[in-house]
């Protein structure tokens, strides 16, 4: 898999290990700061040096691992960062997908290796003109609103193109936001739960955020990586939306997170910082996971209140342990 050091990489490595796989993870950089912790947390993973922008390194990784399944999770994945680094985002998040597909094809594995591409709800963005009032589905109109979303849309279409042109088994999971205790602190949910934990312990006095009105369809990462795996076990390659089918604003997430630590009057603790605003925003994301539920039998264990609760509880415990 690519993206082993990220949130989903960790959850997926655990799942694959449980299922009896030998797991290989691509790791970039000559001194990646996340290498030691990744190796410690997932000791059964064999790390292979490589970078999505370096085709030769991907060929080498395929040669070493000779994979039955490739999960392409690596990406520049932060939407705000992609506005500040659009060229890098195109290279990694867009063209990197082509590099992975070509490495599989040129290694002579087009007929045997199954590929998962991490597509995203950020490929939508405007209104859903196909299904007014309903959630976004696999056939909804795409309208990405960030360099990240545009790069992912290239990745999505080149993946479908390899499926159609070469008959490769390439499935795209169009995943809506999924979070949890391994989420990077640069994303809004984890930033909130870490800050709320620190505020409750007297270690921080406020949180600085961007807009509070955008709505997202939030689920738990552990549930979503199970869906990725199910896509590659299915008898044919296809596209599947994974989502909770509910949507909540950043403000609702904040309110629930503060309630978890017994704070009801939270507004004075939140300040707006223009640094966290984006040149273009996706107002509302809501997904329709019916196809994945029906065809794959995909189910979720964690709902929105459960997600906020598990993240806050985890961060309170973690912040306390840092005090010792
Ligand atoms: P993370 O941001 O947590 O992880 C991103 C991973 O990509 C890291 O392992 C990072 O490695 C790696 N990476 C970055 N640049 C490169 C590069 N040049 N070459 C190789 N690897 C690189 O993302 P998530 O785990 O949350 O998401 C996994 C995938 O799913 C991503 O593609 C994301 O865009 C997509 N996605 C995520 C959703 C979510 O809500 N989490 C929803 C929909 C799609 P390093 O440690 O070296 O930086
Ligand atoms: P998103 O997630 O852009 O949906 O992409 P993020 O958590 O970054 O933002 C969600 C919403 O919160 C608003 N927001 C802030 N966001 C961040 N990061 N920091 C803030 O301080 C802040 N204040 C308000 C944002 O503007 C936005 O509306 C995630 C990533 O995991 C992508 O890789 C993935 O494809 C999509 O989810 C689905």
Is residue 97 within 6 Å of ligand 1 at its C-beta? no
Q: Looking at residues 219-240, what average pLDDT do you find?
A: 98
pLDDT digits (tens, 9 = 90+) for 132-152: 668 999 999 999 999 999 999
Predicted pLDDT of residue 26: 98
Asked if pLDDT for residue 219 goes beyond 80, the answer is yes
- Positions of CATH 3.40.50.720 in the chain: 7-179+218-242
Query: Catalytic: 122?
Result: yes
For residue 287, the SS3 value is strand
Q: Which atom of ligand 2 is nearest to 282's Cα?
A: 28
Strands 215-216 and 248-249: antiparallel
Instruction: Measure the CA–CA gap between 247 and 213, rounded to whole angstroms.
Output: 12
Q: Are 299 and 228 in contact (CB under 8 A)?
A: no
Name the least confident of 20-24, 48-52, 218-222, 278-282: 278-282
Instruction: Measure the CA–CA gap between 132 and 130, rounded to whole angstroms.
Output: 6
Q: Which atom of ligand 2 is nearest to 190's Cα?
A: 7
Asked if pLDDT for residue 282 goes beyond 60, the answer is yes
Q: Cα(72) to centroid of ligand 1, in Å? A: 9
In this structure, whether the domain defined by 7-179+218-242 belongs to CATH 3.40.50.720 is answered with yes
Q: Looking at residues 62-91, what average pLDDT do you find?
A: 98
In which element (H, E) is residue 173 found?
A: strand 169-175
The DSSP letter of residue 163 is H
The answer, yes or no, to whether ipTM is higher than 0.95 is: yes
The ligand minimizing its distance to the Cα of 5 is 1
Please report, to the nearest 10 degrees, the dihedral formed by the alpha carbons of residues 280, 138, 154, 3 taken in order: 90
CA pseudo-torsion sign 151, 123, 121, 276: positive
Asked if pLDDT for residue 130 goes beyond 70, the answer is no
**Which residue in the block uniquely carries the two structure tokens 């604003």?**
249
Asked if pLDDT for residue 4 goes beyond 60, the answer is yes
Name the CATH superfamily, with its identifier, for domain 188-215+248-284+304-323: UDP-galactose 4-epimerase, domain 1 (3.90.25.10)
Annotated catalytic residue, options 71, 148, 162, 220: 148
Q: Look at residues 309, 311, 307, 319 and name the one whose alpha carbon lies nearest to residue 200.
A: 319
The DSSP letter of residue 20 is T
Annotated catalytic residue, options 5, 120, 189, 193: 120
Q: Cα(227) to centroid of ligand 1, in Å? A: 17
CA pseudo-torsion sign 74, 80, 10, 180: negative
Q: What are the strands, taking DSSP E only, across the chain? A: 23-27, 45-49, 69-72, 114-120, 169-175, 178-179, 207-209, 215-216, 219-220, 239-242, 248-249, 270-272
Give 127's pLDDT tier (boundaries 50, 70, 90).
low
Query: Catalytic: 120?
Result: yes
Asked if pLDDT for residue 128 goes beyond 70, the answer is no
Asked if pLDDT for residue 126 goes beyond 80, the answer is no
The ligand minimizing its distance to the Cα of 97 is 1
Residue 227 half-sphere exposure toward CB, CA atoms < 13 A: 34
pLDDT digits (tens, 9 = 90+) for 152-184: 999 999 999 999 999 999 999 999 999 999 999
Q: Look at residues 171, 159, 27, 51 and name the one whose alpha carbon lies nearest to residue 105.
A: 159
Predicted pLDDT of residue 125: 83
Instruction: Measure the CA–CA gap between 26 and 48, rounded to whole angstroms.
Output: 5
Instruction: Measure the CA–CA gap between 198 and 315, rounded to whole angstroms.
Output: 8
Query: Catalytic: 164?
Result: no
pTM above 0.95, yes or no: yes
Q: Exposed (0-12), middle (13-18) or buried (19+): which is 233, by Cβ within 10 Å? A: exposed
Give 257's pLDDT tier (boundaries 50, 70, 90).
very high
Is residue 266 within 6 Å of ligand 2 at its C-beta? no
Give 235's pLDDT tier (boundaries 50, 70, 90).
very high
Q: Looking at residues 92-121, what average pLDDT do you find?
A: 98
Is residue 3 within 6 Å of ligand 1 at its C-beta? yes
CA pseudo-torsion sign 173, 176, 177, 181: negative
Is residue 281 within 6 Å of ligand 2 at its C-beta? yes
What percentage of the chain reaches a pLDDT higher than 90? 96
- Positions of CATH 3.90.25.10 in the chain: 188-215+248-284+304-323
Q: Looking at residues 296-306, what average pLDDT do you find?
A: 98
Q: Are 319 and 194 in contact (CB under 8 A)?
A: yes
């Amino acid at each position: 898999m690519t993206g082993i050091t990220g949130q989903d990489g960790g959850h997926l490595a655990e799942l694959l290990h449980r299922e009896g796989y030998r797991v290989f993870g691509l790791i970039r950089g000559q001194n990646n700061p996340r290498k030691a912790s990744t190796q410690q947390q997932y000791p059964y993973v064999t790390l292979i040096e490589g970078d999505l922008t370096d085709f030769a390194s991907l060929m080498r990784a395929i040669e070493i691992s000779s994979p039955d399944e490739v999960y392409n999770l690596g990406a520049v994945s932060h939407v705000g960062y992609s506005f500040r680094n659009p060229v890098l985002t195109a290279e990694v998040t867009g063209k990197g997908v082509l590099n992975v597909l070509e490495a599989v094809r040129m290694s002579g594995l087009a007929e045997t290796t199954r590929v998962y591409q991490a597509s995203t709800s950020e490929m939508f963005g405007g209104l859903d003109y196909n299904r007014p009032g309903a959630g976004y589905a696999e056939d909804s109109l795409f309208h990405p609103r960030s360099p990240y979303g545009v790069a992912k849309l290239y990745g999505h279409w080149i993946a479908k193109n390899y499926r159609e042109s070469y008959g490769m088994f390439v499935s795209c999971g169009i995943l809506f936001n999924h979070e949890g205790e391994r989420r990077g602190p640069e994303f809004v949910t984890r930033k909130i739960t870490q800050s709320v934990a620190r505020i409750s312990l007297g270690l921080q006095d406020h949180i600085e955020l961007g807009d509070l009105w955008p709505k997202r369809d939030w689920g738990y990462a552990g549930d979503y990586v199970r869906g990725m795996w199910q896509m590659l076990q299915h008898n044919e390659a296809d596209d599947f939306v994974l989502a909770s089918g509910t949507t909540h604003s950043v403000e609702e997430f904040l309110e629930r997170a503060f309630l978890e630590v017994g704070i009801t009057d939270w507004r004075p603790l939140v300040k707006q910082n223009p640094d966290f605003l984006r040149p273009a925003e996706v107002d509302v994301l809501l997904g329709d996971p019916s196809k994945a539920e029906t065809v794959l039998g995909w189910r979720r264990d964690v709902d929105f209140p459960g997600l906020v609760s598990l993240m806050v509880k985890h961060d309170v415990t973690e912040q306390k342990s840092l005090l010792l």
